[in-house]
Amino acid sequence: MEQDSKIYVAGHRGLVGSALVRALHRQGYDNLVLCTHAELDLCDQKQVRDFFDCELPDYVFVAAAKVGGILANSTYPAEFITTNLAIATNVIETSWRSGVKKLLFLGSSCIYPKHAPQPMTEDCLLTGPLEPTNEWYAIAKIAGLKMCAAYRRQYGFNAISAMPTNLYGPEDNFHPSGSHVIPGMLRRFHEAKLANAAQVAVWGDGSPLREFLHVDDLADACLHLMRVYEGEESVNVGSGVELSIRELAEIIADVVGFTGEIVFDTTKPNGMPRKLLDISKLRATGWEPSREFRQGLADTYRWYVEHGE
């Protein structure tokens, strides 16, 4: 990407999109095209085509998505698959049609099979059944990355895809029923501390293992891939480090300052038993994560306290 390139970040107000905007500005890319959902509905093909015809961006980052945790995915499966399929289809197809130089599509580690060998390499995609609690979102994301591969293969469109692990950071969704594990826990432990509650309940038995990456590390990795990667296969983006949900709850309780009891609700689902990405492919391109986990959690908690939902 050239410093004066026109760059469109789809979903710039979300967790990932806002981090991409911060990273682009840090690295001197200021010619950005940013539209809110009210200004541009990415599920509307005509609106998307009109927008691209008017703006003619050189590079596109597809960070827009309908996201949520286990409860949200289970409650709104039709919305998760329909919305995310529409976003991927409209933005990727229209980017190719309008002559975009390069596009990066962001997937998710939930695209991999529930019992994939650990750590998960990129080639284990579609080798087994998905985790049922997020299959609707996962199928839509798989379709998006396969669209990138198909448009590259048939039309020579320079579309690449990155598969991030579980993310956290500023601008996350802290909604009590629609959030992912870290923002959800940060909110519950914070509210419990304010209420002097005796305990906080955590879904599952605490045994699942998860990998987490600060969203600003992901954004740096995406800009790096835009500069150096040209392959059809997606690229995993993670920290290479995992911890159990029990360990995560204990760290968050300490960061928040909650001193009560942590109770694990075994009537609720665990989700995938383990989800660690193999990031050797990304490391081979010369990139490494740089943000320390506990400090990243503390910064995220501080942002939540200052900004709320």
CB count, 10 Å around CB of 104? Answer: 22
Residue 113's domain comprises 7-172+211-241+276-291
Q: How far apart are CA 250 and CA 233, in angstroms?
A: 37
Question: Is 146 part of any domain?
Answer: yes
**pLDDT of 233:** 94
Which residue out of 8, 29, 112, 137 is catalytically annotated?
Answer: 137
Q: How far apart are CA 177 and CA 202, in angstroms?
A: 13
> Which residue, 256, 267, 247, is CA-closest to 197?
256
Show the tokens assigned to 8.
Answer: 């469109």
Instruction: Answer whether residue 29 shows pLDDT above 80.
Output: yes
**pLDDT of 123:** 95
> Which residue, 84, 12, 6, 11, is CA-closest to 52?
6
Any bridge partners for residue 201, and if so which? 263
Question: Is 249 part of any domain?
Answer: no
Averaged pLDDT for residues 107-114: 89
Instruction: Answer whether residue 227 shows pLDDT above 70.
Output: yes
DSSP string, 217-275: HHHHHHHHHHHH---SS-EEE--S-EEEHHHHHHHHHHHHT--SEEEEETTS----SEE
Instruction: Answer whether residue 178 shows pLDDT above 70.
Output: no
Q: Structural domain tally of the chain?
A: 1
Question: Is 117 part of any domain?
Answer: yes
Q: What is the pLDDT of residues 131-155, one digit of tens each?
A: 888 899 999 999 999 999 999 999 9
Q: How far apart are CA 18 and CA 36, in angstroms?
A: 12
> Which residue, 90, 88, 98, 100, is CA-closest to 6?
100
Averaged pLDDT for residues 59-84: 90
Question: Is 61 part of any domain?
Answer: yes
**pLDDT tier for residue 309 given thresholds of 50, 70 and 90:** low
**pLDDT of 298:** 96
Q: What is the pLDDT of residues 290-301, one digit of tens each?
A: 999 999 999 999
Mean residue pLDDT across the chain: 94
Q: How far apart are CA 56 and CA 60, in angstroms?
A: 10
Residue 14 belongs to domain with CATH number: 3.40.50.720
Q: How far apart are CA 248 and CA 195, in angstroms?
A: 21
Residue 34: HSE in the Cβ half-sphere, 13 Å Cα cutoff: 13
Question: Is 131 part of any domain?
Answer: yes
**pLDDT of 134:** 85
Show the tokens assigned to 256.
Answer: 């928040």
For residue 125, what are the contacts with CB-CB under 8 A and spacing of at least 6?
111, 112, 142, 234
137 is catalytic: yes
**pLDDT of 71:** 78
> Which residue, 226, 179, 165, is CA-closest to 72?
179
Question: Is 32 part of any domain?
Answer: yes
**pLDDT of 158:** 98
**pLDDT of 75:** 87
33-47, 65-79, 248-262: least confident range: 65-79
